[in-house]
Amino acid sequence: MNNQRYTLPAIALHWGQAVLVVWLLWLGWMMTDLPKGAERSAAYGLHKSLGLLALLLVVIRLIWRRRNPAPPAISCGWEAKLATATHHALYVFLIMAPLAGYLASSFTPYAIKFFGFELPKACWPDESLNGVFKQLHVAFVWSGAGLIALHVAGALKHAIKRDGTLLRMLPGGLFKN
């Protein structure tokens, strides 16, 4: 068994991103049913700010990972290949979902704000392009939700097997073999 743990910053970035993405998924699901008004506008504003924060966080994670490689995998064969493919696809989701959301917002006449600070828009108002990027955003989000389910299922499998994989990504030394 390989007991080599991830670095503390990698663990903090992973779990911070996980909490942020779950919050974004919940908020995105909930806000679409709100009636038009101040509450819905606030929910959309928060969702956009959190989405941009998630994009910034994944960029930081990628920089960290580039400079601090992950410990060697415990699994081998098809399981290792599936895990690697899932991790790569999760990174694509973590980049493309907020990017598509930002571009969708850029094709509206409304300002894009990051926790109250106005950001430059990449585009001009265009309803049809806004619709295209909204659809892409939704497609990436649903795909990402499926990837998250696969990732969690893999983590649970490793927890049941007690092979040490999950313990390498848990914070602190709270859980030991």
> What is the residue whose two structure tokens read 């980049």?
95
Write down the mean pLDDT value for the chain: 92
The 8-class DSSP code of residue 169 comes to: G
Task: Tell me which H or E stretch contains 33.
Answer: none
Average confidence (pLDDT) over 57-82: 91
pLDDT at 124 over 90: yes
Beta-strand relationship, 117-119 and 112-114: antiparallel
Q: Which residues contact 18 (CB under 8 A, 6 or more apart)?
A: none
Instruction: Tell me how far apart the alpha carbons of residues 152 and 158 are, in angstroms, rounded to a whole number.
Output: 10
pTM for this entry: 0.91
